[in-house]
Amino acid sequence: MTHAASIIFLLLGATPSEADRDRFFEERIAPILQRSCVSCHSSKQIAQASLELDTKKGVLAGGESGAAVVPGDRDESLLLAMVEGPDPLMPRDRPPLRPDEVDLLKEWIDRGAPWPEGLVLRDTHRKSLDWWSLQPLERPRLPALSPEDRGWARTPIDHFILAKLREKGLSPSPEADRLTLIRRLSFDLLGLPPSPEEVDRFLGDPDPAAYEKLVDRMLDSPHYGERWARHWLDVVRYGETHGYDKDKPRPNAWPFRDYVIRSLNEDKPYGRFVREQLAGDVIAPGDADGVIATGFLAAGPWDHIAHVEVGEGKVDGRIAKHLDRDEMVSTTFNVFMSATVGCAQCHHHKFDPIRMEDYYRLHAIFAGIDRADRPLGLAPTNKGRFHDIRRRLADLGGKRAASARKKATAEVAKLDREIAALRKEQSALFSGQFVYAAASDFARQGRFVPTRGKMRPIHLLHRGDIRSPGEVMSPGMPPLWEEAGEVEIDADADEGSRRLALARYLTDRDNPLTWRSIVNRVWLYHLGRGIVDSPNDFGRMGLEPTHPALLDWLAVEFRDKGESLKDLHRLIVTSSVYRQQCRHDPRAEDIDKSNTYFWRMNRRKLEAEEVRDAVLATAGKLDRTLYGPSFMDFVVEKPQHSPHYQYHLHDPDDPATHRRSIYRFVVRSQTQPFLTTLDCADPSQSVAKRDQTTTALQSLALLNNPFMECMSEHVARRVAAERSSPRGQIERAFRLALARASTDSEADALVAYANEHGLANACRVILNLNEFAFID
Report yes or no: 219 and 569 within 8 Å, Cβ to Cβ.
yes
The least CB distance from residue 648 to other proteins, in Å, is: 8
* Beta-strand pair 434-439/644-646: unpaired
Tell me 662's DSSP state: G
**Measured from the CB atom, is 487 or 703 closer to other proteins?**
703
Identify the helix (H) or strand (E) that includes residue 471: strand 469-472
The least CB distance from residue 757 to other proteins, in Å, is: 4
| Residue 467 within binding range of other proteins, rule CB under 8 A | no
The least CB distance from residue 446 to other proteins, in Å, is: 12
Nearest C-alpha neighbor of 399 from the set 383, 366, 422: 422
Q: Is the dihedral of CA 626, 628, 630, 631 positive or negative?
A: negative
The least CB distance from residue 244 to other proteins, in Å, is: 4
**Measured from the CB atom, is 171 or 433 closer to other proteins?**
171
Report yes or no: 340 and 540 within 8 Å, Cβ to Cβ.
no
Distance between CA atoms of residues 82 and 88, nearest Å = 6
**Measured from the CB atom, is 661 or 705 closer to other proteins?**
705
Q: Which stretch binds other proteins (CB under 8 A): 86-94, 95-103, 115-123, 580-588?
A: 580-588
Q: Which of residues 327-346 bind other proteins (CB under 8 A)?
A: 327, 334, 339-340, 342-343, 346
Distance between CA atoms of residues 198 and 196, nearest Å = 6
The least CB distance from residue 320 to other proteins, in Å, is: 7
Nearest C-alpha neighbor of 652 from the set 626, 628, 672: 672
| Residue 591 within binding range of other proteins, rule CB under 8 A | no
Which residue from 709, 720, 740, 741 is in contact with other proteins, where contact means CB under 8 A?
709
Report yes or no: 634 and 667 within 8 Å, Cβ to Cβ.
yes
Which residue from 563, 705, 739, 747 is in contact with other proteins, where contact means CB under 8 A?
705
Which residue from 2, 704, 725, 755 is in contact with other proteins, where contact means CB under 8 A?
704
**Measured from the CB atom, is 441 or 776 closer to other proteins?**
776
Q: Which of residues 118-177 bind other proteins (CB under 8 A)?
A: none
Report yes or no: 91 and 83 within 8 Å, Cβ to Cβ.
yes
Q: Which of residues 657-686 bind other proteins (CB under 8 A)?
A: 668-671, 673-674, 676-677, 679, 682, 684-686
Tell me 202's DSSP state: H
| Interface characters, 623-662, with other proteins (x: CB under 8 A) | ---------------x-xxx-x---x--------------
Which residue from 36, 514, 580, 698 is in contact with other proteins, where contact means CB under 8 A?
698
Q: How many helices (H) and strands (E) does the chain have?
A: 34, 8
**Measured from the CB atom, is 405 or 648 closer to other proteins?**
648
Terminal alpha carbon distance of the chain: 65
**Measured from the CB atom, is 622 or 701 closer to other proteins?**
701
| Residue 745 within binding range of other proteins, rule CB under 8 A | yes
**Measured from the CB atom, is 36 or 345 closer to other proteins?**
345
Alpha-helical segments (H) within 70-177: 78-83, 99-110, 147-150, 156-167
Angle at which helices 210-220 and 196-203 cross, to 10°: 150
Which residue from 589, 651, 654, 748 is in contact with other proteins, where contact means CB under 8 A?
589
The least CB distance from residue 516 to other proteins, in Å, is: 15
- At residue 461, the 3 state secondary structure works out as strand
Distance between CA atoms of residues 156 and 139, nearest Å = 12
Which residue from 2, 468, 625, 692 is in contact with other proteins, where contact means CB under 8 A?
692
Other beta carbons within 10 angstroms of residue 14's beta carbon come to 15
The least CB distance from residue 133 to other proteins, in Å, is: 11
Cis peptide before 71 (omega within 30 of 0): no
Identify the helix (H) or strand (E) that includes residue 436: strand 434-439
61: β partners:
none
Q: Which of residues 524-543 bind other proteins (CB under 8 A)?
A: 534, 536-537, 539, 541-542
**Measured from the CB atom, is 252 or 698 closer to other proteins?**
698
Q: Which of residues 288-307 bind other proteins (CB under 8 A)?
A: 301, 303, 305-306
The least CB distance from residue 722 to other proteins, in Å, is: 19
Assign residue 295 a region (left: φ > 0; alpha: ψ between -120 and 50; beta: otherwise).
alpha
Q: Which of residues 218-257 bind other proteins (CB under 8 A)?
A: 243-247
Q: Where are the beta strands (DSSP E) in 592-708?
A: 604-605, 635-637, 644-646
**Measured from the CB atom, is 424 or 638 closer to other proteins?**
638
Which residue from 388, 697, 721, 722 is in contact with other proteins, where contact means CB under 8 A?
697
